């Protein structure tokens, strides 16, 4: 059982921001567990990181499947005895970026979006919280979005004022509420919980129209995952700057 090297689990880590987050954490000497719905794709990603000298391992993790969540928790407990970093990175977007989908989004899309972006984060976090409590400095990073900011959505002229994808935006607003509530419950412990806005990044979800590269999109998650003891908890950040809820 490892008691020295930090262990991080990143969901949705076989590609995009999750993969780059794993790479940047791994370069800091942290063992990274790459959660992936498709284990073969996760293993391919882990092999790529190993070639860069990173201690990486793929684990099958479809965040909406309780059996996968429980299996990952059991594996981490048996092999490491604790978890230092949890990055809830897996997410979906079923609507097009831009415009307003409030009266057109389907109930099916709403439920599917919330299942991944909100409910699965809670189930994964709750399953792993006992292991995070065994860490000397547990860190939970909920990958949110500026599109979850109610303040900015309500402010005419803000960067997101005209972009209202109801399913995605509301799922991230709910995720932010979870961050605030969990941080409050864990106040006084060594665990810090924060929401991260990666930025609009060139990924499958962000598309090539996005202005940010993946390497920069991962920086906020990595920063929050490696906060020192005096770092913030219960906040919403992008590149070290607070975002309005």
Annotated catalytic sites, by residue?
168
Query: CA-based angle 214:216:218, to the nearest 5?
Result: 75
CA distance 145 to 122: 17
Would you call 159 helix, strand, or coil by DSSP?
Answer: coil
95, two tokens: 């609507």
Residues 75, 79, 83, 89, CA torsion sign? negative
218, two tokens: 């991962």
CA distance 67 to 128: 14
Q: Which residues pair with 172 in a beta bridge?
A: none
Tokens 């399953």 label which residue?
Answer: 127
């Amino acid at each position: 059982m490892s008691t020295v090297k930090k262990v991080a689990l990143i969901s949705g880590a076989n590609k995009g921001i999750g993969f780059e987050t794993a790479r940047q954490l791994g370069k800091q000497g942290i063992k990274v567990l790459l959660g992936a719905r498709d284990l073969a794709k996760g293993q391919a990603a882990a092999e790529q990181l190993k070639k860069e000298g990173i201690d990486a391992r793929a684990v099958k993790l479809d965040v909406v499947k309780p059996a996968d969540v429980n299996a990952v928790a059991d594996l981490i407990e048996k092999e490491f005895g604790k978890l230092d970093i949890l990055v809830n990175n897996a997410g979906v977007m079923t609507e097009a970026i831009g415009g307003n989908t409030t009266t057109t989004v389907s109930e099916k899309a709403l439920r599917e979006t919330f299942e991944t972006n909100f409910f699965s984060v809670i189930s994964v976090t709750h399953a792993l919280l006992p292991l995070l409590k065994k860490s000397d400095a547990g860190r939970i990073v909920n990958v949110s979005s500026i599109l979850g900011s109610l303040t900015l959505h309500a402010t005419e002229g803000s960067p997101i004022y005209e972009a209202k994808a109801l399913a995605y935006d509301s799922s991230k607003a709910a995720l932010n509420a979870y961050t605030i509530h969990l941080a409050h419950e864990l106040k006084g412990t060594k665990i810090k919980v924060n929401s991260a806005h990666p930025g609009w990044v060139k990924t499958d979800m962000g598309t090539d129209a996005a202005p940010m590269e993946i390497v920069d999109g991962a920086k906020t998650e990595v920063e929050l995952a490696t906060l020192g003891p005096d770092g913030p908890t219960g906040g919403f950040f992008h590149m070290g700057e607070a975002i309005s809820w």
